[in-house]
Structure 1
Protein backbone atom coordinates (compact mmCIF):
# COMPACT_ATOMS: atom_id res chain seq x y z
CA UNK A 1 0.00 0.00 0.00
CA UNK A 2 1.26 3.43 -0.88
CA UNK A 3 -0.45 6.55 0.42
CA UNK A 4 -0.94 9.99 -1.00
CA UNK A 5 1.81 12.04 -2.60
CA UNK A 6 3.07 14.85 -0.33
CA UNK A 7 2.68 18.54 -0.83
CA UNK A 8 5.60 20.79 -1.78
CA UNK A 9 6.45 21.50 1.87
CA UNK A 10 9.39 19.77 3.48
CA UNK A 11 8.29 16.83 5.68
CA UNK A 12 9.21 16.96 9.37
CA UNK A 13 9.90 13.21 9.44
CA UNK A 14 9.77 10.20 7.17
CA UNK A 15 9.31 6.43 7.24
CA UNK A 16 11.52 5.02 4.49
CA UNK A 17 11.44 1.57 2.86
CA UNK A 18 15.15 1.15 2.21
CA UNK A 19 16.68 -1.91 0.58
CA UNK A 20 17.61 -3.41 3.97
CA UNK A 21 14.11 -2.75 5.33
CA UNK A 22 12.58 -4.38 2.25
CA UNK A 23 14.77 -7.46 2.72
CA UNK A 24 13.81 -7.75 6.40
CA UNK A 25 10.12 -7.29 5.59
CA UNK A 26 10.40 -9.97 2.91
CA UNK A 27 11.91 -12.43 5.37
CA UNK A 28 9.30 -11.64 8.03
CA UNK A 29 6.55 -11.93 5.42
CA UNK A 30 7.77 -15.38 4.36
CA UNK A 31 7.97 -16.56 7.95
CA UNK A 32 4.55 -15.04 8.70
CA UNK A 33 2.97 -17.16 5.99
CA UNK A 34 4.15 -20.39 7.62
CA UNK A 35 3.41 -19.12 11.13
CA UNK A 36 -0.12 -18.23 10.03
CA UNK A 37 -0.67 -21.61 8.41
CA UNK A 38 0.40 -23.30 11.65
CA UNK A 39 -1.83 -21.12 13.86
CA UNK A 40 -4.79 -21.43 11.51
CA UNK A 41 -4.22 -25.18 11.45
CA UNK A 42 -4.66 -25.19 15.22
CA UNK A 43 -7.90 -23.22 14.80
CA UNK A 44 -9.11 -25.73 12.21
CA UNK A 45 -8.27 -28.60 14.55
CA UNK A 46 -10.35 -26.98 17.31
CA UNK A 47 -13.28 -26.44 14.92
CA UNK A 48 -13.27 -29.91 13.38
CA UNK A 49 -11.88 -31.95 16.28
CA UNK A 50 -9.45 -33.59 13.84
CA UNK A 51 -5.66 -33.23 13.84
CA UNK A 52 -4.37 -31.45 10.75
CA UNK A 53 -0.94 -33.08 10.79
CA UNK A 54 0.43 -35.08 9.21
CA UNK A 55 -0.65 -33.26 6.07
CA UNK A 56 -1.32 -35.81 3.35
CA UNK A 57 -1.70 -34.88 -0.31
CA UNK A 58 -2.98 -37.57 -2.66
CA UNK A 59 -3.34 -37.27 -6.44
CA UNK A 60 -4.49 -39.96 -8.87
CA UNK A 61 -1.97 -38.84 -11.52
CA UNK A 62 0.87 -36.36 -12.10
CA UNK A 63 -1.60 -34.16 -13.99
CA UNK A 64 -3.95 -34.00 -11.01
CA UNK A 65 -1.01 -33.15 -8.75
CA UNK A 66 0.02 -30.33 -11.12
CA UNK A 67 -3.55 -29.00 -11.20
CA UNK A 68 -3.59 -28.98 -7.40
CA UNK A 69 -0.36 -27.00 -7.24
CA UNK A 70 -1.65 -24.50 -9.81
CA UNK A 71 -4.89 -24.13 -7.83
CA UNK A 72 -2.94 -23.23 -4.69
CA UNK A 73 -0.91 -20.67 -6.67
CA UNK A 74 -4.14 -19.14 -8.00
CA UNK A 75 -5.46 -18.85 -4.44
CA UNK A 76 -2.28 -17.00 -3.46
CA UNK A 77 -2.58 -14.57 -6.37
CA UNK A 78 -6.31 -13.94 -6.00
CA UNK A 79 -5.99 -12.74 -2.41
CA UNK A 80 -3.99 -9.75 -3.67
CA UNK A 81 -7.02 -8.31 -5.49
CA UNK A 82 -9.41 -7.90 -2.49
CA UNK A 83 -6.46 -6.80 -0.35
CA UNK A 84 -5.65 -3.83 -2.59
CA UNK A 85 -9.31 -3.07 -3.28
CA UNK A 86 -9.94 -2.71 0.46
CA UNK A 87 -7.03 -0.26 0.69
CA UNK A 88 -8.60 1.66 -2.21
CA UNK A 89 -12.09 1.66 -0.72
CA UNK A 90 -10.74 3.11 2.52
CA UNK A 91 -8.91 5.82 0.55
CA UNK A 92 -12.15 6.62 -1.29
CA UNK A 93 -13.93 6.89 2.05
CA UNK A 94 -11.54 9.72 2.96
CA UNK A 95 -11.97 11.58 -0.33
CA UNK A 96 -9.09 10.23 -2.39
CA UNK A 97 -9.19 8.74 -5.90
CA UNK A 98 -6.95 5.64 -5.71
CA UNK A 99 -4.93 4.16 -8.56
CA UNK A 100 -3.49 0.65 -8.66
CA UNK A 101 -0.25 -0.82 -9.92
CA UNK A 102 2.68 -3.18 -9.37
CA UNK A 103 6.12 -2.15 -8.15
CA UNK A 104 9.27 -3.33 -6.39
CA UNK A 105 9.68 -2.52 -2.69
CA UNK A 106 13.17 -1.25 -1.90
CA UNK A 107 14.31 -2.55 -5.33
CA UNK A 108 14.03 -6.05 -3.87
CA UNK A 109 10.48 -7.31 -3.34
CA UNK A 110 7.77 -7.13 -6.05
CA UNK A 111 4.36 -6.08 -4.75
CA UNK A 112 0.98 -4.74 -5.79
CA UNK A 113 0.05 -1.31 -4.49
CA UNK A 114 -2.68 1.33 -4.41
CA UNK A 115 -1.94 5.03 -4.09
CA UNK A 116 -3.53 8.45 -4.31
CA UNK A 117 -1.83 11.65 -5.45
CA UNK A 118 -4.53 14.01 -4.24
CA UNK A 119 -4.04 14.57 -0.52
CA UNK A 120 -2.38 13.60 2.70
CA UNK A 121 -4.24 11.62 5.35
CA UNK A 122 -4.44 12.06 9.09
CA UNK A 123 -2.63 9.47 11.15
CA UNK A 124 -5.85 7.69 12.16
CA UNK A 125 -7.18 7.71 8.59
CA UNK A 126 -3.96 6.12 7.36
CA UNK A 127 -4.13 3.52 10.13
CA UNK A 128 -7.57 2.49 8.85
CA UNK A 129 -6.30 2.40 5.25
CA UNK A 130 -3.30 0.28 6.23
CA UNK A 131 -5.07 -2.18 8.52
CA UNK A 132 -8.46 -2.76 6.89
CA UNK A 133 -7.36 -5.59 4.51
CA UNK A 134 -5.64 -7.46 7.35
CA UNK A 135 -8.67 -7.14 9.66
CA UNK A 136 -11.46 -7.74 7.13
CA UNK A 137 -9.89 -10.59 5.15
CA UNK A 138 -8.63 -12.38 8.26
CA UNK A 139 -12.02 -12.10 9.97
CA UNK A 140 -13.86 -13.22 6.83
CA UNK A 141 -11.43 -16.07 6.35
CA UNK A 142 -11.93 -17.32 9.91
CA UNK A 143 -15.72 -17.29 9.42
CA UNK A 144 -15.38 -19.22 6.15
CA UNK A 145 -12.97 -21.61 7.83
CA UNK A 146 -15.58 -22.36 10.50
CA UNK A 147 -18.27 -22.95 7.84
CA UNK A 148 -16.37 -24.72 5.06
CA UNK A 149 -13.74 -26.41 7.28
CA UNK A 150 -11.32 -26.92 4.39
CA UNK A 151 -7.51 -26.85 4.84
CA UNK A 152 -7.26 -25.10 1.44
CA UNK A 153 -8.61 -21.93 3.06
CA UNK A 154 -5.46 -21.76 5.19
CA UNK A 155 -3.48 -20.76 2.10
CA UNK A 156 -5.26 -17.49 1.11
CA UNK A 157 -5.77 -16.39 4.73
CA UNK A 158 -2.09 -16.93 5.54
CA UNK A 159 -1.09 -15.27 2.26
CA UNK A 160 -3.07 -12.17 3.24
CA UNK A 161 -1.33 -12.08 6.64
CA UNK A 162 2.04 -12.35 4.90
CA UNK A 163 1.04 -9.61 2.44
CA UNK A 164 0.00 -7.38 5.35
CA UNK A 165 3.42 -7.39 7.02
CA UNK A 166 4.56 -4.15 5.37
CA UNK A 167 1.19 -2.53 6.20
CA UNK A 168 1.55 -3.58 9.85
CA UNK A 169 5.12 -2.26 9.92
CA UNK A 170 4.05 1.12 8.55
CA UNK A 171 1.10 1.24 10.97
CA UNK A 172 3.46 0.62 13.89
CA UNK A 173 5.84 3.27 12.56
CA UNK A 174 3.22 6.04 12.29
CA UNK A 175 1.77 5.29 15.73
CA UNK A 176 4.75 7.16 17.19
CA UNK A 177 3.24 10.40 15.87
CA UNK A 178 0.20 12.22 17.34
CA UNK A 179 -3.25 11.92 15.75
CA UNK A 180 -2.98 15.47 14.39
CA UNK A 181 -0.15 14.47 12.04
CA UNK A 182 -0.74 14.62 8.29
CA UNK A 183 0.93 11.78 6.41
CA UNK A 184 1.52 11.29 2.68
CA UNK A 185 3.78 9.35 0.36
CA UNK A 186 7.39 10.45 -0.04
CA UNK A 187 8.21 12.47 -3.17
CA UNK A 188 9.21 10.08 -5.95
CA UNK A 189 12.80 11.36 -5.93
CA UNK A 190 13.21 10.48 -2.24
CA UNK A 191 12.50 6.78 -2.40
CA UNK A 192 9.62 4.71 -1.07
CA UNK A 193 7.85 5.36 2.19
CA UNK A 194 5.80 7.95 4.03
CA UNK A 195 6.34 11.64 4.79
CA UNK A 196 5.02 13.16 8.03
CA UNK A 197 3.82 16.80 8.18
CA UNK A 198 2.62 19.12 10.95
CA UNK A 199 3.75 16.96 13.86
CA UNK A 200 6.90 15.86 15.61
CA UNK A 201 7.70 12.49 17.11
CA UNK A 202 6.80 11.91 20.74
CA UNK A 203 8.97 8.88 21.26
CA UNK A 204 11.28 8.84 24.24
CA UNK A 205 14.78 7.38 23.96
CA UNK A 206 13.59 4.45 26.08
CA UNK A 207 10.73 3.74 23.67
CA UNK A 208 13.05 3.95 20.66
CA UNK A 209 15.34 1.43 22.33
CA UNK A 210 12.43 -0.93 23.02
CA UNK A 211 11.19 -0.63 19.43
CA UNK A 212 14.68 -1.36 18.11
CA UNK A 213 15.07 -4.45 20.29
CA UNK A 214 11.62 -5.77 19.39
CA UNK A 215 12.29 -5.25 15.67
CA UNK A 216 15.63 -7.07 16.02
CA UNK A 217 13.98 -9.99 17.84
CA UNK A 218 11.24 -10.36 15.20
CA UNK A 219 13.77 -10.16 12.38
CA UNK A 220 16.04 -12.75 14.01
CA UNK A 221 13.15 -15.12 14.73
CA UNK A 222 11.89 -14.77 11.16
CA UNK A 223 15.34 -15.32 9.66
CA UNK A 224 15.91 -18.41 11.83
CA UNK A 225 12.50 -19.86 11.03
CA UNK A 226 12.81 -19.18 7.29
CA UNK A 227 16.29 -20.73 7.12
CA UNK A 228 15.06 -23.81 8.99
CA UNK A 229 12.04 -24.25 6.71
CA UNK A 230 14.04 -23.81 3.53
CA UNK A 231 16.76 -26.07 4.94
CA UNK A 232 14.18 -28.79 5.57
CA UNK A 233 12.76 -28.23 2.10
CA UNK A 234 16.27 -28.66 0.64
CA UNK A 235 16.70 -31.90 2.58
CA UNK A 236 13.40 -33.22 1.22
CA UNK A 237 14.21 -32.22 -2.38
CA UNK A 238 17.68 -33.77 -2.10
CA UNK A 239 16.16 -36.99 -0.80
CA UNK A 240 13.68 -37.01 -3.68
CA UNK A 241 16.54 -36.64 -6.16
CA UNK A 242 18.99 -39.18 -4.73
CA UNK A 243 16.82 -41.44 -2.58
CA UNK A 244 13.32 -42.65 -1.83
CA UNK A 245 12.00 -39.27 -0.73
CA UNK A 246 11.33 -40.42 2.82
CA UNK A 247 12.92 -38.21 5.50
CA UNK A 248 12.59 -38.46 9.28
CA UNK A 249 14.50 -36.03 11.51
CA UNK A 250 14.09 -36.84 15.20
CA UNK A 251 11.66 -39.15 16.94
CA UNK A 252 8.06 -38.37 15.82
CA UNK A 253 6.91 -39.26 19.33
CA UNK A 254 9.72 -37.46 21.14
CA UNK A 255 10.67 -33.96 22.22
CA UNK A 256 13.23 -33.25 19.51
CA UNK A 257 11.10 -34.21 16.51
CA UNK A 258 11.67 -31.88 13.55
CA UNK A 259 10.39 -33.39 10.28
CA UNK A 260 8.72 -36.45 8.83
CA UNK A 261 8.26 -36.66 5.05
CA UNK A 262 6.92 -39.87 3.51
CA UNK A 263 6.38 -40.48 -0.18
CA UNK A 264 4.22 -43.08 -1.92
CA UNK A 265 5.18 -42.77 -5.61
CA UNK A 266 2.69 -45.45 -6.69
CA UNK A 267 -0.28 -43.36 -5.51
CA UNK A 268 1.29 -39.90 -5.98
CA UNK A 269 0.80 -39.32 -2.27
CA UNK A 270 2.98 -37.42 0.15
CA UNK A 271 2.68 -37.00 3.92
CA UNK A 272 4.41 -34.16 5.79
CA UNK A 273 4.63 -33.40 9.52
CA UNK A 274 6.71 -30.69 11.19
CA UNK A 275 7.86 -30.51 14.79
CA UNK A 276 6.24 -27.25 15.89
CA UNK A 277 7.79 -26.98 19.38
CA UNK A 278 11.33 -27.34 18.03
CA UNK A 279 10.70 -24.76 15.30
CA UNK A 280 9.22 -22.30 17.81
CA UNK A 281 12.06 -22.81 20.30
CA UNK A 282 14.71 -22.45 17.58
CA UNK A 283 13.08 -19.30 16.19
CA UNK A 284 12.87 -17.78 19.68
CA UNK A 285 16.54 -18.49 20.35
CA UNK A 286 17.44 -17.04 16.96
CA UNK A 287 15.45 -13.91 17.74
CA UNK A 288 17.11 -13.47 21.12
CA UNK A 289 20.57 -13.98 19.61
CA UNK A 290 19.83 -11.48 16.83
CA UNK A 291 18.54 -8.93 19.34
CA UNK A 292 21.63 -9.38 21.52
CA UNK A 293 23.94 -9.01 18.54
CA UNK A 294 22.05 -5.94 17.34
CA UNK A 295 22.36 -4.37 20.80
CA UNK A 296 26.12 -4.96 20.81
CA UNK A 297 26.54 -3.48 17.31
CA UNK A 298 24.45 -0.45 18.29
CA UNK A 299 26.47 0.07 21.49
CA UNK A 300 29.77 -0.14 19.60
CA UNK A 301 28.48 2.26 16.95
CA UNK A 302 27.46 4.79 19.60
CA UNK A 303 30.80 4.47 21.36
CA UNK A 304 32.68 5.15 18.12
CA UNK A 305 30.55 8.17 17.16
Structure 2
Protein backbone atom coordinates (compact mmCIF):
# COMPACT_ATOMS: atom_id res chain seq x y z
CA UNK A 1 0.00 0.00 0.00
CA UNK A 2 1.36 3.36 -0.99
CA UNK A 3 1.79 5.89 1.85
CA UNK A 4 0.24 9.11 0.59
CA UNK A 5 1.82 12.23 2.01
CA UNK A 6 1.51 15.96 1.51
CA UNK A 7 3.88 17.82 -0.75
CA UNK A 8 4.02 21.61 -0.51
CA UNK A 9 5.90 23.30 -3.27
CA UNK A 10 5.67 26.86 -1.93
CA UNK A 11 4.18 28.33 1.26
CA UNK A 12 3.21 31.95 1.79
CA UNK A 13 2.24 31.55 5.44
CA UNK A 14 2.99 29.44 8.54
CA UNK A 15 3.13 25.68 7.80
CA UNK A 16 2.51 22.89 10.29
CA UNK A 17 4.97 20.10 9.54
CA UNK A 18 4.24 18.01 12.61
CA UNK A 19 1.37 16.02 14.06
CA UNK A 20 0.29 18.49 16.79
CA UNK A 21 -1.77 21.66 16.77
CA UNK A 22 -0.38 24.85 15.32
CA UNK A 23 -1.04 28.27 16.92
CA UNK A 24 -0.16 31.39 14.94
CA UNK A 25 0.28 34.80 16.57
CA UNK A 26 0.62 38.10 14.78
CA UNK A 27 3.46 39.66 16.71
CA UNK A 28 2.96 43.06 15.11
CA UNK A 29 -0.62 43.20 16.39
CA UNK A 30 0.44 41.97 19.82
CA UNK A 31 3.24 44.51 19.98
CA UNK A 32 0.86 47.33 19.07
CA UNK A 33 -1.67 46.21 21.69
CA UNK A 34 1.04 45.86 24.33
CA UNK A 35 2.33 49.35 23.53
CA UNK A 36 -1.18 50.79 23.87
CA UNK A 37 -1.72 49.04 27.18
CA UNK A 38 1.64 50.29 28.34
CA UNK A 39 0.66 53.84 27.48
CA UNK A 40 -2.55 53.57 29.48
CA UNK A 41 -0.72 52.01 32.40
CA UNK A 42 1.69 54.90 32.52
CA UNK A 43 -0.48 57.88 31.64
CA UNK A 44 -4.04 56.94 32.55
CA UNK A 45 -5.49 55.74 35.83
CA UNK A 46 -8.59 53.66 35.39
CA UNK A 47 -11.48 55.00 37.45
CA UNK A 48 -13.26 52.10 39.14
CA UNK A 49 -16.96 52.02 38.36
CA UNK A 50 -17.68 50.90 41.91
CA UNK A 51 -16.03 54.04 43.32
CA UNK A 52 -18.05 56.18 40.93
CA UNK A 53 -21.25 54.46 42.01
CA UNK A 54 -20.41 55.20 45.63
CA UNK A 55 -19.68 58.81 44.78
CA UNK A 56 -22.96 59.10 42.87
CA UNK A 57 -24.90 57.90 45.92
CA UNK A 58 -23.37 60.66 48.06
CA UNK A 59 -23.13 63.41 45.47
CA UNK A 60 -25.01 66.70 45.84
CA UNK A 61 -24.80 68.86 42.69
CA UNK A 62 -23.07 72.17 43.39
CA UNK A 63 -24.38 75.51 42.09
CA UNK A 64 -23.92 75.86 38.29
CA UNK A 65 -23.56 72.10 37.84
CA UNK A 66 -26.37 72.24 35.26
CA UNK A 67 -24.44 74.81 33.23
CA UNK A 68 -21.34 72.59 33.35
CA UNK A 69 -23.43 69.65 32.14
CA UNK A 70 -24.77 71.68 29.22
CA UNK A 71 -21.27 72.88 28.29
CA UNK A 72 -19.98 69.32 28.18
CA UNK A 73 -22.98 68.23 26.12
CA UNK A 74 -22.61 71.07 23.59
CA UNK A 75 -18.82 71.16 23.22
CA UNK A 76 -17.48 67.79 24.39
CA UNK A 77 -15.20 69.61 26.85
CA UNK A 78 -15.79 71.46 30.11
CA UNK A 79 -13.37 73.09 32.53
CA UNK A 80 -14.64 72.88 36.11
CA UNK A 81 -13.15 75.56 38.33
CA UNK A 82 -13.71 76.29 42.00
CA UNK A 83 -11.95 76.90 45.28
CA UNK A 84 -10.36 73.92 47.08
CA UNK A 85 -12.95 72.09 49.16
CA UNK A 86 -15.90 72.87 46.89
CA UNK A 87 -15.99 69.36 45.44
CA UNK A 88 -14.81 70.50 42.00
CA UNK A 89 -13.10 67.18 41.27
CA UNK A 90 -16.15 65.19 42.33
CA UNK A 91 -18.29 67.40 40.10
CA UNK A 92 -16.03 66.76 37.11
CA UNK A 93 -16.15 63.00 37.70
CA UNK A 94 -19.94 63.04 37.99
CA UNK A 95 -20.29 65.03 34.76
CA UNK A 96 -18.53 62.19 32.96
CA UNK A 97 -20.23 59.43 34.90
CA UNK A 98 -23.78 60.63 34.29
CA UNK A 99 -23.35 60.46 30.52
CA UNK A 100 -24.68 56.92 30.83
CA UNK A 101 -23.60 53.35 31.58
CA UNK A 102 -19.86 52.97 31.29
CA UNK A 103 -19.62 50.77 28.21
CA UNK A 104 -16.47 52.70 27.33
CA UNK A 105 -13.51 53.60 29.50
CA UNK A 106 -13.52 56.46 31.95
CA UNK A 107 -9.97 57.27 32.90
CA UNK A 108 -7.75 60.00 34.22
CA UNK A 109 -4.83 61.48 32.34
CA UNK A 110 -1.80 62.12 34.54
CA UNK A 111 0.32 64.94 33.13
CA UNK A 112 2.69 64.96 36.08
CA UNK A 113 3.85 67.93 38.10
CA UNK A 114 7.31 68.83 36.86
CA UNK A 115 8.29 70.74 33.74
CA UNK A 116 9.93 67.73 32.07
CA UNK A 117 6.89 65.47 32.43
CA UNK A 118 5.16 64.20 29.31
CA UNK A 119 2.45 66.38 27.83
CA UNK A 120 -0.99 65.55 26.50
CA UNK A 121 -0.83 62.54 24.22
CA UNK A 122 -3.84 62.13 21.93
CA UNK A 123 -2.82 58.51 21.41
CA UNK A 124 -4.34 57.55 24.75
CA UNK A 125 -7.83 58.63 23.65
CA UNK A 126 -10.03 55.77 22.53
CA UNK A 127 -13.32 55.95 20.67
CA UNK A 128 -16.00 57.34 22.98
CA UNK A 129 -13.67 57.61 26.00
CA UNK A 130 -14.49 59.83 28.96
CA UNK A 131 -11.39 61.55 30.22
CA UNK A 132 -10.65 63.44 33.43
CA UNK A 133 -7.73 65.86 33.47
CA UNK A 134 -7.02 67.22 36.95
CA UNK A 135 -4.79 70.32 36.91
CA UNK A 136 -5.26 71.16 40.60
CA UNK A 137 -1.57 70.66 41.36
CA UNK A 138 -0.27 72.23 38.13
CA UNK A 139 1.71 75.47 38.35
CA UNK A 140 1.35 78.34 35.89
CA UNK A 141 4.51 77.57 33.86
CA UNK A 142 3.45 73.98 33.38
CA UNK A 143 -0.07 75.04 32.46
CA UNK A 144 1.11 77.47 29.78
CA UNK A 145 2.87 74.56 28.11
CA UNK A 146 -0.15 72.31 28.42
CA UNK A 147 -2.44 75.05 27.12
CA UNK A 148 -0.61 74.98 23.80
CA UNK A 149 -1.20 71.23 23.59
CA UNK A 150 -4.80 71.33 24.74
CA UNK A 151 -6.16 72.58 21.42
CA UNK A 152 -4.75 69.60 19.51
CA UNK A 153 -5.84 67.25 22.28
CA UNK A 154 -9.40 68.58 22.09
CA UNK A 155 -9.35 67.98 18.33
CA UNK A 156 -8.63 64.31 19.03
CA UNK A 157 -11.42 64.27 21.63
CA UNK A 158 -13.86 65.58 19.04
CA UNK A 159 -12.64 63.27 16.28
CA UNK A 160 -13.08 60.18 18.47
CA UNK A 161 -16.43 61.28 19.94
CA UNK A 162 -14.88 61.34 23.42
CA UNK A 163 -15.61 63.69 26.33
CA UNK A 164 -13.16 65.70 28.44
CA UNK A 165 -13.65 67.23 31.90
CA UNK A 166 -10.81 69.38 33.24
CA UNK A 167 -10.42 70.33 36.92
CA UNK A 168 -9.01 73.85 36.93
CA UNK A 169 -7.86 75.82 40.01
CA UNK A 170 -8.98 79.49 39.93
CA UNK A 171 -5.36 80.74 39.90
CA UNK A 172 -4.96 79.38 36.35
CA UNK A 173 -8.02 81.07 34.87
CA UNK A 174 -6.03 84.18 33.96
CA UNK A 175 -3.92 82.05 31.59
CA UNK A 176 -6.89 80.70 29.63
CA UNK A 177 -7.46 81.57 26.00
CA UNK A 178 -10.86 83.09 25.19
CA UNK A 179 -11.94 79.75 23.68
CA UNK A 180 -11.13 77.84 26.86
CA UNK A 181 -12.56 80.55 29.10
CA UNK A 182 -15.89 80.12 27.31
CA UNK A 183 -15.86 76.45 28.32
CA UNK A 184 -15.11 77.18 31.99
CA UNK A 185 -17.76 76.88 34.71
CA UNK A 186 -17.01 77.89 38.30
CA UNK A 187 -18.78 75.80 40.91
CA UNK A 188 -19.38 76.69 44.56
CA UNK A 189 -19.91 74.59 47.66
CA UNK A 190 -22.93 72.30 47.41
CA UNK A 191 -25.49 72.06 50.22
CA UNK A 192 -23.19 70.73 52.91
CA UNK A 193 -25.93 69.58 55.31
CA UNK A 194 -27.56 67.48 52.61
CA UNK A 195 -24.26 65.93 51.59
CA UNK A 196 -23.37 65.12 55.19
CA UNK A 197 -26.76 63.46 55.72
CA UNK A 198 -26.14 61.31 52.65
CA UNK A 199 -22.76 60.26 54.00
CA UNK A 200 -24.37 59.34 57.32
CA UNK A 201 -27.07 57.25 55.61
CA UNK A 202 -24.48 55.41 53.51
CA UNK A 203 -22.65 54.64 56.76
CA UNK A 204 -25.94 53.38 58.23
CA UNK A 205 -26.03 56.11 60.87
CA UNK A 206 -29.51 57.43 61.56
CA UNK A 207 -29.87 61.05 62.66
CA UNK A 208 -32.41 63.83 62.38
CA UNK A 209 -31.75 67.27 60.85
CA UNK A 210 -32.18 68.76 64.33
CA UNK A 211 -29.18 66.77 65.57
CA UNK A 212 -26.96 68.56 63.07
CA UNK A 213 -27.63 71.97 64.59
CA UNK A 214 -25.25 71.80 67.54
CA UNK A 215 -22.91 74.81 67.25
CA UNK A 216 -19.69 72.83 66.99
CA UNK A 217 -21.02 70.41 64.38
CA UNK A 218 -22.80 73.12 62.38
CA UNK A 219 -19.61 75.19 62.24
CA UNK A 220 -17.60 72.20 61.07
CA UNK A 221 -20.11 71.30 58.35
CA UNK A 222 -20.26 74.89 57.09
CA UNK A 223 -16.47 75.31 56.87
CA UNK A 224 -14.95 71.88 56.20
CA UNK A 225 -13.93 70.80 52.69
CA UNK A 226 -16.43 68.42 51.12
CA UNK A 227 -13.98 65.53 51.39
CA UNK A 228 -13.78 65.95 55.18
CA UNK A 229 -17.52 65.47 55.57
CA UNK A 230 -17.02 61.92 54.31
CA UNK A 231 -14.32 61.40 56.94
CA UNK A 232 -16.53 62.76 59.70
CA UNK A 233 -19.41 60.47 58.78
CA UNK A 234 -17.06 57.49 58.76
CA UNK A 235 -15.65 58.45 62.17
CA UNK A 236 -19.16 58.81 63.60
CA UNK A 237 -19.97 55.31 62.40
CA UNK A 238 -16.85 53.98 64.15
CA UNK A 239 -17.86 55.74 67.37
CA UNK A 240 -21.39 54.29 67.01
CA UNK A 241 -19.98 50.79 66.57
CA UNK A 242 -17.82 51.22 69.67
CA UNK A 243 -20.70 52.54 71.82
CA UNK A 244 -24.06 51.59 70.24
CA UNK A 245 -26.12 52.72 73.23
CA UNK A 246 -24.70 56.25 73.29
CA UNK A 247 -26.64 59.16 71.75
CA UNK A 248 -25.74 60.70 68.40
CA UNK A 249 -24.33 63.82 70.07
CA UNK A 250 -21.78 61.69 71.93
CA UNK A 251 -20.68 59.85 68.78
CA UNK A 252 -20.37 63.15 66.97
CA UNK A 253 -18.39 64.86 69.70
CA UNK A 254 -15.92 61.97 69.89
CA UNK A 255 -15.54 61.90 66.10
CA UNK A 256 -14.87 65.63 65.93
CA UNK A 257 -12.29 65.20 68.65
CA UNK A 258 -10.53 62.50 66.65
CA UNK A 259 -10.47 64.66 63.52
CA UNK A 260 -9.16 67.67 65.44
CA UNK A 261 -6.37 65.55 66.92
CA UNK A 262 -5.34 64.25 63.50
CA UNK A 263 -5.25 67.74 62.03
CA UNK A 264 -3.22 68.96 64.98
CA UNK A 265 -0.73 66.14 64.51
CA UNK A 266 -0.28 67.17 60.90
CA UNK A 267 -1.08 63.72 59.57
CA UNK A 268 -1.89 63.58 55.87
CA UNK A 269 -5.38 62.39 55.11
CA UNK A 270 -6.42 60.85 51.81
CA UNK A 271 -10.12 60.67 51.00
CA UNK A 272 -11.07 58.91 47.79
CA UNK A 273 -14.54 60.08 46.92
CA UNK A 274 -15.11 63.79 47.34
CA UNK A 275 -11.86 65.58 46.66
TM-score by length of 1: 0.17
TM-score by length of 2: 0.19
Higher relative contact order (CA 8 A, sep 6+): 1
Q: More helix per residue: 1 or 2?
A: 1
Larger Rg: 2
